[in-house]
Every structure is written in structure tokens, then in C-alpha cells.
Structure 1
Amino acid sequence: MIPWSLLDTAKLPDGSGELRLKQRGSEFSIMLGTNELMNSRLSGSEEALATLVRERLSERPKPRILIGGLGMGFTLRAALAAWGTDARIEIAELMPAVVAWARGPMAVVFGDCLDDPRVTITVADVAGVIRAAPGAYDAVLLDVDNGPEAMTIAANDALYDDGGLGQAKAALRPGGILAVWSQGPDRRFTQRLRRAGFAVEEVMVRANKGRSGARHVIWLARR
């Protein structure tokens, strides 16, 4: 068995912990403490975050998409493959180190997707980007933290509370979709989405794109 190598570390903005980028052969992992936040072998549910939205917005011309969280780029690459040349895709990533890893040690995973002319990368809290852009987006895709219950940064909870959902709804164009990735189900979050006035669809997706393994949840909330 090839051992893991530690490539880099990055402090969380609130000082509550440290992300670690590790590599084993061609496999990459981003860890927080003993918790693996993402792995380059498991991309199914993150890709589905983009493809499920694309299926529901297939007729929209010149769609403008906001993706909260760069991660390992699975959602971004799926969005680029799904949408045409008239799409505009903005990435809001809180941690500069994650963007640096994408262009550095994990460039083999990302390929040339960050240089696609449809893509803009903003190093910022996605919550601030959402607040600053009322009526701007056809879709907002959130793969931030562990889902509606923050594990990495406590402030991320505000994305998923009543106020945060109201701001996300305001950032959407009529008929637009807020899509939220989560490690698991959360009945209270479904209720909050409905209380915010969204029409809610909840989809279970395999992490490894097969018939076995972990099942993650994607909420598709239409304005």
C-alpha cells in the first residue's frame, strides 16, 4: 500500500482548524482533523449537483451559474460539460489555498477547466457574493462545508438558515434553482426551504456513481 504524503496545510479563516492536502499515488484527499472532506476518487454526487440542475434548466439561454465552493472541481467540470458556450459560471471559494492547490499540486485533476473563458473565480465568502447580486443568477449551486449543518466553519450555518435562504432566493431569477449538496438528509432543512417559498425536490445520489457506497443528498429548490 502506497502511504499518504502531506502536500500542504491551510488554516481555516476563523482559526478553528486546519485543512490538509494529501496525496497517495494519483489519489488526492483534503482532510480536516480526522474527517475527509473530499477525495478525488469520489465525484458522483458533486457532479450530479451540476447535471441535475442542467436537466431542469435546459431551455435557458445564456445561463448564469454561481457555484459556492471549488473543492476538487467536480461540480465545475460537470457544469462546463453540461452547459454550452453561452453559459457564465462563477466560482466563489473562501480559501485562497484551495484555489492555489487547484492550480498547483492538483492541476492533474483540474486539467484546463479553470482557464475556460466561461469561468470566473472569486476568492470570497459565497454568502457575500449572493447578497451582492439580487436577481443575477439562473442557478446557485452550494457545495459548502458538510451541507446544511456546518462542520468546517461555523459561520457557514448562516448560508442555510432562514435569512440565508431568503438571500439565495433573492439572488435567483424567476424559476431559478438553488441546489444544495449534503452528506446526508436533513428534514428540518427541507422544511426551511419550503418555508422560504421554494418548490423543493430532494434527490439521493451515490458518491461513487455506482450502486453501492455512501449516498449523499441534493436539494433542488426552485424559486
Structure 2
Amino acid sequence: MLPWVQLASAIAPDGDTLRLMRRGDEFSIRLQGGNELMNSRLGRSEEALATLALDRLADRPAPRVLIGGLGMGFTLRAAQAVASPQARLIVAEIVPELVGWATQHMAAVFGGCLSDPRVQVRIGDVGAQIRQATTAFDAILLDVDNGPDGLTRTGNDALYGTAGLQAARRALSPGGVLAVWSAEPDAAFERRLAGCGFAVSTHGVRAGGSGRGSRHVIWIGVRRDD
């Protein structure tokens, strides 16, 4: 078996070191200690984050979508595949080096998706973009850390706590969708999401194709205005 080779590293704003690894045509982004955050062969659940959310916006000709986290681009590419030509897809990525990795080391994975005129990449915290917005988005897709019980950033509580969910609701248009990816179920988060004014559905999706890989969780919260 081919060995893993480190291609690049980056320091996240909270001080964690991220490492980009390659083995043949497979890529992995890991923490310095070895914990894998994402893998180029296991993106089915991240794709579902986009398709499940945008399915609920099928009647909107020009949806405005905020994607939290570029990662390996699974969510972005899935959104591009189903979004209308008039859609706006804004990606907030807090680690600027990941954008460079996408166009250099992982160009074969990303293809030309970042050159799509519907796409805008903003370097910065997605939480700050949410807090500054009012009815600005039709969908917010959050694949940040490992979900509400994140591994790497304690600051993610600002996204998944009550205040963060209320800010997301304000940032959404009426009937807009908040979609959240998680590595694990979280009944408390599901209740909190419902309590913050969302009609919630929960979906279990395997990470890999053909039913392979870990089962991840996606919450779809549709903004209630009753």
C-alpha cells in the first residue's frame, strides 16, 4: 500500500495545525495529532447537506446560499449541480490556505468549481457573516468542525448554541433553510434547533457511496414564521 505523504500544513485561527495528506489519488485533511477531519473518498453526507437543503428551495429561481466551510468542496459542488444559473453560492472559509490547496494540490478533486461565476469565496468566520445578516440568505449550510459537538474549535458554540441559532434564523429569508452536518447524533441540539423557530427533520447519511462509511447526521431546519 502506498504511504501517506504530507503536502502542506496550515495553522487555524485557534492555533490548531491542519495537515494535507495524499496517498495516490486520495487526499486527507487531518489535525496534527492524526485525527482525520475529511477525506476525498468520503463526501456523500457533505453532498447531501446541499441537496437536502436546496430541494426545499426548488420554487426559488435565484436562491442565495451561504456555505460554512470549503473543506474538500463536496457541499459546494453538490449545490452547484442542483442550483439554478441565477443562484448565488457564498463560501465562508476561515483558513485561507484551504482555498490555495483547492486550486493547487487538490485541483483534480475540485475541478473548476471555484471559477463558477455563481460562487464567491469569503475568507473569514461564517458565524460573523451570519450575525451581520438580516434575511440575506435563502439557505445556510453549516459543515463546520464535526458539528454541534465539534472537535477543534470551542468557538463553534457561537454557531450551534441558542444565540447562534437565533442569529441564523434572523439571517434567513422567510421559509429559508438552515442545514447542519454532524458526525454524531445530538438530541439536545435537535431540541434547541426546534426551540429557536425551526421545523426540524433529521437525516442519517453514510459517508461513502453504496452504503459504506460512518453514518453521519444532517438536520434540516426550515424557518417558521407562525
Indicate whether the TM-score tops 0.5: yes
| Aligned alpha-carbon RMSD (Å) | 0.8
1-structure distance, mates of 2:191, 2:140: 19
Gapped regions of structure 1 (runs ≥ 5): none
Secondary structure class of the residue paired with 1:8? strand
How many pairs were matched up? Answer: 222
CA distance in 2, matches of 1:187, 1:92: 27
TM-score, normalised by the number of residues in structure 1: 0.98
Quick one: percent identity of the two aligned structures?
58
Aligned to 1:118: 118
Q: Equivalent residue of 2:102, what SS?
A: helix
Q: What residue in structure 2 maps to residue 139 of structure 1?
A: 139
Determine if the alignment matches structure 1 residue 165 to structure 2 residue 165.
Answer: yes
Contact 1:12–1:153 (Cα < 8 Å) also in 2? no
Question: Structure 2-normalised TM-score?
Answer: 0.96
1:130 is aligned to 130
Cα shift readout 1:143-164 (whole Å, capped 9, x = no counterpart): 0000001211111121000000
Q: Which runs of 5+ in 2 are unaligned?
A: none
Secondary structure of the residue that 2:210 maps to in structure 1? coil
Q: What is the deviation of 1:203?
A: 0.4
What amino acid does structure 2 have at the position aligned with 1:144? Answer: V
> Residue 51 of structure 2 contacts residue 82 of structure 2 at CA under 8 Å; is this kept in 1?
yes
- Specify the code of the residue in structure 1 equivalent to 2:40: S
Match for 2:25: what amino acid?
A: S
Moved over 2 A (4+): none
The question of whether the paired residues in 1 share the 8 Å contact of 2:42 and 2:213 is answered with no
1:193 touches 1:200 (CA, 8 Å); kept in 2?
A: yes
Task: Name 1:27's counterpart in structure 2.
Answer: 26
Instruction: Summarize the alignment of residues 67-106 of structure 1 with structure 2, pairs less than 5 Å apart.
Output: 67-106=67-106
1-structure distance, mates of 2:60, 2:186: 30
What secondary structure is seen at the aligned counterpart in 2 of 1:201?
A: strand
Task: Kindly state the Cα deviation for residue 49 of structure 1 after the two structures are TM-superposed.
Answer: 0.4
Amino acid at match of 2:12: L
Question: How far off is 1:141 after superposition?
Answer: 0.1
